[in-house]
Amino acid sequence: MNIHEYQAKRLLHSYGAPIAGGVAIYSAEQAEEWAKKMPGPLYVVKSQIHAGGRGKGKFKELGDDAAGGVRLARSVEEVVQNVKEMLGNTLVTKQTGPEGKQVNRLYIEDGADIDRELYLSILIDRTVGRPAFVVSTEGGMDIEAVAEETPEKIFTLPIDPIKGMTDADSRKLNRALKLTKDAAKDGMELFPILYKAFTEKDMSLLEVNPLIVMKDGRLRVLDAKVSFDGNALFRHDDIMALRDLSEEDEKEIEASKHDLAYVALDGNIGCMVNGAGLAMATMDIIKQYGEEPANFLDVGGGATTEKVTAAFKIITADPKVKGILVNIFGGIMKCDVIAEGVVKAVKDVGLKVPLVVRLEGTNVEKGKQIINDSDVDVIAADDLDDAAQKIVKAIKG
């Protein structure tokens, strides 16, 4: 789960990280009211969407000459003018995809006097099985280019999760970021704070880009992007409360209500599969026969008829879906339960696209019987290969 920049900053601030003063607003009136209370003379108006690259992003409605999704303003009037231009419009960045994201909230922040922009993130480094800091002196808006063109400018420091973060670790980060004097002192405090927030809140990513050295020599967190491990959210009610459903895929929200492992994708073959491994294999084989899956969906081991029905409805509600492939290997999951769910869902919502079903394993005969006895228009398949070929052929008409 992701949260907005201003929420991430508040959270990091509660651990003691240095951030600028600021306020999230939803209207031009609110912007004016709050900006008047800010010290000035430099203000920054920042689009709050769950995607990075906002500074270099462009608003669809405003054309390429207009300023981007993060704007500097030098008076309250300029703040308000920018807010009016930005609110409600669609920001397209490298991370949003071409459709962009509608900006419904803005964050108005005190402007900082920037001397240097650095990059810092904490993530789980799977190669060493530990949390790791990734830092670079080349922070700001183009870290992807730095990683590609000058990878030697990126420094990685894995942290021993048992010992936790040590002063020696912080000193290494200071050295890598070329921090001295006050900035180095700030670093000794800030790095452990960020590590603590990362581990205590079960984050999967904490990215500060840029972390800045200000003209007065002090450090400040200027941008913050945080993702949380979805499997740990049950123990963080405070984080759950920050969820912004308008940023999430509607189908994924519906799936999460039914406890289904579902991820929306760009293709046009809807998949209903049990077991993550089989789901991956099914997606691969669809690609091998020249089509793209519309989703990943694992209905799980102990799915009920209700759950299968819900899953089927989510798949059919996607207008991109031109065909559906149900691929079930009944182990703990029984084929008759799947068959009942499919038949019930088709009766409830109808079937407007071809449906290929491959059932194997526990109660397979019973399952096939249920489908044959219904008047659902199913193309039966014998194995995975056969199923993939049949659905690809079916959608090509």
44 binds, among ligand ADP, Mg ion, none (CB under 5 to 8 A by kind): ligand ADP
> How far apart are alpha carbons 108 and 25 in whole angstroms?
7
The total number of residues shown for the chain amounts to 397
Edge to edge, the sheet with strand 58-59 lists 58-59, 90-92, 101-102
Quick check: is 77 catalytic? no
Q: Which is nearer to ligand ADP, 109 or 336 (CB)?
A: 109
Residues contacting residue 29 through CB under 8 Å, at least 6 positions apart: none
Strand stretches in the chain, DSSP E? 22-25, 43-47, 58-59, 70-73, 90-92, 101-102, 106-110, 114-125, 130-136, 154-158, 203-214, 219-221, 225-228, 261-264, 269-273, 295-298, 323-330, 355-361, 379-380
Judged by CB under 6 A, how many residues of this single chain contact ligand ADP?
A: 19
> How far apart are alpha carbons 286 and 291 in whole angstroms?
6
Q: Which is nearer to Mg ion, 225 or 251 (CB)?
A: 225
Q: Which is nearer to ligand ADP, 44 or 356 (CB)?
A: 44
First to last CA, the chain: 39
From the list 1, 8, 11, 44, which residue makes contact with ligand ADP (rule: CB under 6 A)? 44
Instruction: Tell me whether residue 200 is annotated as binding.
Output: no
Instruction: Tell me whether residue 53 is annotated as binding.
Output: yes
Ranges within 82-141 binding ligand ADP (CB under 6 A): 109, 111-112, 114, 117, 140-141
Tokens describing residue 159: 């942290």
Whole-number minimum distance, CB 208 to ligand ADP, in Å? 9
Ranges within 279-298 binding Mg ion (CB under 5 A): none
Q: Which is nearer to ligand ADP, 225 or 258 (CB)?
A: 225
Tokens describing residue 184: 């180095």
Ranges within 229-288 binding ligand ADP (CB under 6 A): none
Instruction: Tell me whether residue 104 is annotated as binding.
Output: no
Residues contacting residue 386 through CB under 8 Å, at least 6 positions apart: 358
Instruction: Tell me whether residue 390 is annotated as binding.
Output: no
Instruction: Tell me whether residue 333 is annotated as binding.
Output: yes
Which among 77, 17, 72 has a CA at the least distance from the CA of 46?
72
Other C-beta atoms lying within 10 Å of the C-beta of residue 216? 11
Whole-number minimum distance, CB 89 to ligand ADP, in Å? 16
Tokens describing residue 129: 């099985």
Quick check: is 207 catalytic? yes
Ranges within 194-213 binding Mg ion (CB under 5 A): 209
Instruction: Tell me whether residue 5 is annotated as binding.
Output: no
Q: Which of 6, 138, 195, 207 is catalytic?
A: 207
Please report whether residue 55 would count as binding ligand ADP according to CB under 6 A.
yes
From the list 223, 291, 298, 336, which residue makes contact with Mg ion (rule: CB under 5 A)? 223
**Active site amino acids:** 119, 207
Binding site for ligand ADP (CB under 6 A): 20, 44, 46, 52-55, 70, 109, 111-112, 114, 117, 140-141, 209-210, 222-223
